């Protein structure tokens, strides 16, 4: 006799939230959900994502078998299949749902599911290839790689990690490569004028747009890439001659630096492309093809250099050396710590080292510090929600990935009464960060009074508060002040 499956109340898995779900947050962050794209939320639960997207002027609608069963299911630019496949206990229905969502999307499918990490789901009852929770609902916990492989096998398309358990699948392969390249492309401003020249001033309205696009591309644009190309050619003879005038006025060194940065960005993208079945050059967007020819001469040469960089990122000695010589970040005996905003200014080798982890995990929601382990082949993403406002912010969450074993370790400190805290926040930032000087002033005060000498005891909130009290100080804002309940003689 066939085993009778229990009725699983899938609707109980729909969460009541106050903000966007993680997959929608990711797509908004990456510019993949925007007012010019329609969005269909397949399995929308209570419909909060749909309502919040509508307030942003985005054409969005949703369908859910329990809450909105009468809504239509039709094609959209972006389809979000958010935490749906993990609550479907029938593997055949699970696969059919994934394929139906893929069929409905014109541009992008966002797929998310529960991912198994240490400490989750261990006390619950096994059921099929997932678990039955205490509420009687079903949850299928995937591994990060397992989920990626499952999506790619079912859809026969590449899945790009956006966060833990969140993947993007593009209908158009060049669009996927364009997205991937954009993750490693830095934004730079055009150099300012150093000298005055009459001809430049007379043609400023044409030359400034030319400067802007060259600063973006790192190379001269093709005629079809620049809408003022014909006018500039008429006035100067060619784009190259116009750019010669620009370099004479602004100086050539900064333009060379821009080209070098763009070359490095492209090399990082190509190195990490090995994890995504690097495509033939004909599949790449035309703009990327032009970049490759301009910076490397040929795709073969670019790929060879990228592979050399990728393999070097797997060399612990090379990583350690790059960390030790890095002018950016806080170097400790076992790791280099940097702020997320400083990541793009790292040596290309360290960008690839971190990029290997991000390719696997995606962008960890809220992570603003990155720990590059110097010898163990691990990368940690640290979430400090109050980094900018709290002089010694507490760690909320840590996500650590071993690049060698692919093991993910997640530690939560939200419920801790004595979480780890930060000191010398300016050391994580670039020198030109607007908060660098403010943070540095506090560190100077604390160092002057000997508060930072015993690092073994001040690394937690309780240890730091004890040290402050013993010394007769308190921290207000980002200033060190004398405690009012301690005599002036205390020091």
Mean of pLDDT values over 379-398: 96
Within a domain: residue 275?
no
pTM passes above 0.75: yes
What is the rounded average pLDDT of the residues 145-149?
93
One domain, residues 160 and 54: yes
Does 36 fall in a domain? Answer: yes
Q: Are residues 385 and 455 in the same domain?
A: no
Does residue 409 fall inside a structural domain?
Answer: yes
Same domain, 16 and 138: yes
Give the residue numbers spanning the domain of 461. Answer: 431-482
The pLDDT tens digits of the residues spanning 18-57 come to 789 999 999 999 999 999 999 999 999 989 999 999 999 9
Task: Give the range among 53-62, 123-132, 332-341, 466-475 with minimum mean pLDDT.
Answer: 123-132
Residue 114 confidence (pLDDT) = 85
**Residue 306 located in a structural domain:** no
Position 488 confidence tier, pLDDT thresholds 50, 70, 90: very low
3 state SS for the chain: CCCCCCCCCHHHHCCCCCCCCHHHHHHHHCCCCCCCCCEEEECCCCCHHHHHHHHCCCCEEEEECCCECCCCCCCEEEEEEECCHHHCCCHHHHHHHHHHHHHHEEEEEEEECCECCCCCCCCCEEECCEEECCCCCEECCECHHHHHHHHHHHHCCCEEEEECCEEEEECCHHHHHHHHHHCCCCCCCCCCCCCCCHHHHHCHHHHHHHHHHHHHHCCCCCHHHCCCHHHHHHHHCCHHHHHHHHHHHHCCHHHHHHHHHHHHHHHHHHHHHHHHCCCCHHHCCHHHHHHHHHHHCCHHHHHHHHHHHHHHHCCHHHHHHHHHHCCCCEEECCEEEEEHHHHHHCCHHHHHHHHHHHHHHCCCCCCCEEEEECCCCEEEEEECCCCCCCCCCECCEEEEEECCCCCEEEEECCCCCCCEECCCHHHHCCCCCCCHHHHHHHHHHHHHCCCCCCCCCCCEHHHHHHHHHHHCEEEECCEEEECCCCCCCCC
Shared domain check, 109 and 51: yes
140 and 33 within one domain: yes
Q: What is the pLDDT of residue 131?
A: 40
Shared-domain flag, residues 323 and 447: no
Shared-domain flag, residues 112 and 29: yes
Q: In b/e form, how buried is each residue of 29-44, taking b as 16+ CB within 10 angstroms? A: ebebbeeebbbbbbbb
Q: What is the pLDDT of residue 124?
A: 34
Beta-carbon contacts of residue 149 (< 8 Å; ≥ 6 apart)? none
Over residues 187-212, mean pLDDT? 85
Say if residue 386 is in the same domain as residue 420. Answer: yes
Name the burial class of residue 118, with classes exposed (0-12), middle (13-18) and buried (19+) by CB atoms within 10 angstroms of its CB: exposed
Is the residue at 30 inside a domain?
yes
Mean pLDDT, rounded, for 412-417 = 90
Residues 30 and 167 in one domain: yes
Looking at 425, 455, 474, the residue that finishes a domain is 425
Greater model confidence, 407 or 137: 407
CB–CB of 112/167 below 8 Å?
yes
Q: Is residue 136 in some structural domain? A: yes
- Whether 321 is in a domain gets the answer yes
Indicate if 58 and 160 belong to the same structural domain. Answer: yes
| Predicted local distance difference test score (pLDDT) of residue 127 | 33
pLDDT of residue 349: 97
Mark which of 388, 405, 425 sits at the end of a domain: 425
The answer on 449 and 399 residing in a single domain is: no
User: How far apart (Å, rounded) are the C-alpha atoms in residues 184 and 239?
Assistant: 27
What are the pLDDT digits (tens) for 76-115?
999 999 999 988 888 999 999 999 999 999 999 999 998 8
Domain final residue pick, 232, 250, 268: 250
What percent of the chain clears pLDDT 70, i.e. is strictly above it? 90
Better-scored residue on pLDDT, 452 or 126: 452
CA 14 to the chain's CA centroid: 27
402, 463: one domain: no
Indicate the number of domains in the chain: 4
pLDDT value at 13 more than 90: no
Report yes or no on 70 lying in a domain: yes
Between CA 242 and CA 240 the distance in angstroms is 5
């Amino acid at each position: 006799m066939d085993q009778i499956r229990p009725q699983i109340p899938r609707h109980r898995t729909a969460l009541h939230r106050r903000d966007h779900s993680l997959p929608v947050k990711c797509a908004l962050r990456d510019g993949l959900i925007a007012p010019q794209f329609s969005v269909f939320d397949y399995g929308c639960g209570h419909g909060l994502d749909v309502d919040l997207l509508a307030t942003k002027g985005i054409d969005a609608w949703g369908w859910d078998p329990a809450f909105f069963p009468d809504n239509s299911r039709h094609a959209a630019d972006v389809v979000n299949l958010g935490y749906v496949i993990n609550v479907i206990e029938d593997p055949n229905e699970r696969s059919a749902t994934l394929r139906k969502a893929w069929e409905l999307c014109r541009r992008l499918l966002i797929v998310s599911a529960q991912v198994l990490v240490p400490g989750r789901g261990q006390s619950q009852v096994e059921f099929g290839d997932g678990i039955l929770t205490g509420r009687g609902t079903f949850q299928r916990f995937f591994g990060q790689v397992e989920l990626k492989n499952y999506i790619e096998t079912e859809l026969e398309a590449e899945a790009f990690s956006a966060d833990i358990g969140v993947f993007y699948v593009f209908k158009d392969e060049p669009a996927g490569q364009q997205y991937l390249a954009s993750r490693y492309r830095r934004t730079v401003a055009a150099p300012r004028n150093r000298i005055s020249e009459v001809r430049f001033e007379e043609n400023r309205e044409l030359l400034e747009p030319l400067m802007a696009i060259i600063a973006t591309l790192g190379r001269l644009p093709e005629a079809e890439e620049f809408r003022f190309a014909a006018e500039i050619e008429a006035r100067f003879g060619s784009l190259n001659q116009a750019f010669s005038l620009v370099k004479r006025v602004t100086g050539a060194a900064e333009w060379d630096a821009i080209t070098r940065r763009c070359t490095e960005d492209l090399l990082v993208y190509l190195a990490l492309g090995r994890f995504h079945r690097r495509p033939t050059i004909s599949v790449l967007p035309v703009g990327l093809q032009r970049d490759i020819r301009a910076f490397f001469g040929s795709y073969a040469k670019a790929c060879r250099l990228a592979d050399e960089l990728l393999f070097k990122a797997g060399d612990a000695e090379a990583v350690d050396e790059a960390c030790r010589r890095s002018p950016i970040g806080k170097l400790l005996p076992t790791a280099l710590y940097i702020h997320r905003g400083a990541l793009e200014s790292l040596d290309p080798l360290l960008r690839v080292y971190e990029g290997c982890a991000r390719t696997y995990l995606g962008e960890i929601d809220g992570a603003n510090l990155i720990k590059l382990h110097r010898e163990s082949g691990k990368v940690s993403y640290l979430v400090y929600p109050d980094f900018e406002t709290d002089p010694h912010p507490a760690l909320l969450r840590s996500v650590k990935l071993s690049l060698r074993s692919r093991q993910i370790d997640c530690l939560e400190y939200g419920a801790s009464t004595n979480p780890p805290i930060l000191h010398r926040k300016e050391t994580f930032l670039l020198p030109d960060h607007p908060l660098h000087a403010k943070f540095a002033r506090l560190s100077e005060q604390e160092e002057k009074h000997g508060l930072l000498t015993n690092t073994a005891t001040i690394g937690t909130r309780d240890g730091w508060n004890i040290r402050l009290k013993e010394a007769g100080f308190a921290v207000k804002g980002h200033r060190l002040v004398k405690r009012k309940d301690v005599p002036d003689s205390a020091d």
